[in-house]
Amino acid sequence: MLLPLRLLRDRWPTWLERTADRFVWSDPSVITRPDVTSERFREAMSAIHVGGTIKITSSDRHPEPDSLLIDHVDTTGLVIADVGASDGSTSLDLVRRLEGFAGYVISDLFLEISWARAGRRTVLYDPAGEPILLTGHRFLAWPSISRVIRTLVGPALRRVGREPRQPVTLLNPEVVALLARDPRVTTREHDVFTEWPDPKPDVIKVANLLRRLYFGDEDIARALRALHASLAPGGHLLIVDNSREPGMPPRGGLYRREDTGFALVAETPNTPEIGALVLGLDAAGASKTPEA
């Protein structure tokens, strides 16, 4: 984002909002409201930048990649971990399609942030207490991704900074309801670069997190080694990406954990962006250079 500043929807004359449509966003501070709808909550995720990534997600985002798992693995009695699940909307999609699983862990490095409000201004803070998003009456701005913006909104940040902070979940209201009614579904804060503690899951899904948009190949290989170490023997890794290439459907790859790396089980017709990195991984050492 060149200039991390946008206009808030329904706060400007209609003609202006229509003309500048791309720069007009719905208010993401709705996540702090107890009556927020699941749709508005999901939409707000596009505005939340944390840890160098964006929490952007949507419903029904990976139907074909999810089918790879359903068609090739009998998930009866298995534990599935969804790493980098954002607000859990895509976890909910997969849970609805699975039968007989023993556990489904909705996991992300950021499951909760905090917020404070002064008048019409709301600031969202990351877990380290850094301001990541400011919404006012007419604008929203991302102080964490631009020094210029941080200086511009400095007085507002200081004003809101004097108010008490409150925690807010980043889990979608529909997911919170699922957690309450299905004891097999749980959550865990987890960093994809670290090994999952015992007991190891049988399947790990990672969608739209290990992207070249966010990480270099060395870091992606480091995460893949951690994922290899995190899986139970013979477990499966499902990698998904929703490419920005026009007309490109969601891409997915299902890989089986073997002693030294991953073996291909199935891929969508278009190989996921990091498919070659997964298959080229030497789990004990550095990633082999994948063929183009």
Q: Which amino acid is at 22?
A: R
> Which is nearer to ligand SAM, 182 or 189 (by Cβ)?
189
80, 140, 209, 210: which one binds ligand SAM (CB under 6 A): 209
Q: How far is the CB of 66 from ligand SAM (least distance, A)?
A: 11
Q: Which residues contact 18 (CB under 8 A, 6 or more apart)?
A: none
- Judged by CB, which is closer to ligand SAM: 32, or 57? 57
28 burial (CB, 10 Å; 0-12 / 13-18 / 19+) is buried
Contact 185, 82 (CB under 8 A): no
Interface residue with ligand SAM among 108, 202, 267, 273 (CB under 6 A) is 108
121 vs 190, which CB is nearer to ligand SAM?
190
Residues facing 252 on adjacent strands: 240
Binding status of residue 243 toward ligand SAM by CB under 6 A: no
- Residue 50 interacting with ligand SAM (CB under 6 A): yes
In the complex, minimum distance from the CB of residue 60 to ligand SAM, in angstroms, rounded to a whole number: 10
Q: What share of the chain is helix, strand, coil (3-state, %, to 5)?
A: 30, 25, 45
Applying CB under 6 A, does 80 fall inside the site for ligand SAM? Answer: no
Distance (Å, rounded) from C-alpha 252 to C-alpha 210? 12
Interacting residue with ligand SAM among 7, 24, 54, 168 (CB under 6 A)? 54
Q: Residues binding ligand SAM: what is the number (CB under 6 A)?
A: 22
- Tell me which of 55, 225, 228, 251 binds ligand SAM, using CB under 6 A: 55
| Token pair 């949507």: residue | 58
> Please, which of residues 168-197 interact with ligand SAM by CB under 6 A?
191-193
| Residues in Cβ contact with 44 at an 8 Å cutoff, skipping those fewer than 6 apart | 26, 27, 28, 29, 30, 31, 36
Q: How far apart are the first and last CA of the chain?
A: 29
Q: Which two tokens stand for residue 247?
A: 């007309």
Q: Which helix (H) or strand (E) holds 159?
A: helix 154-161
Which span sits near ligand SAM by CB under 6 A: 72-80, 103-111, 159-167, 261-269?
103-111
- Binding site residues, ligand SAM, CB under 6 A: 50-51, 53-57, 61, 83-86, 90, 108-110, 191-193, 207-209
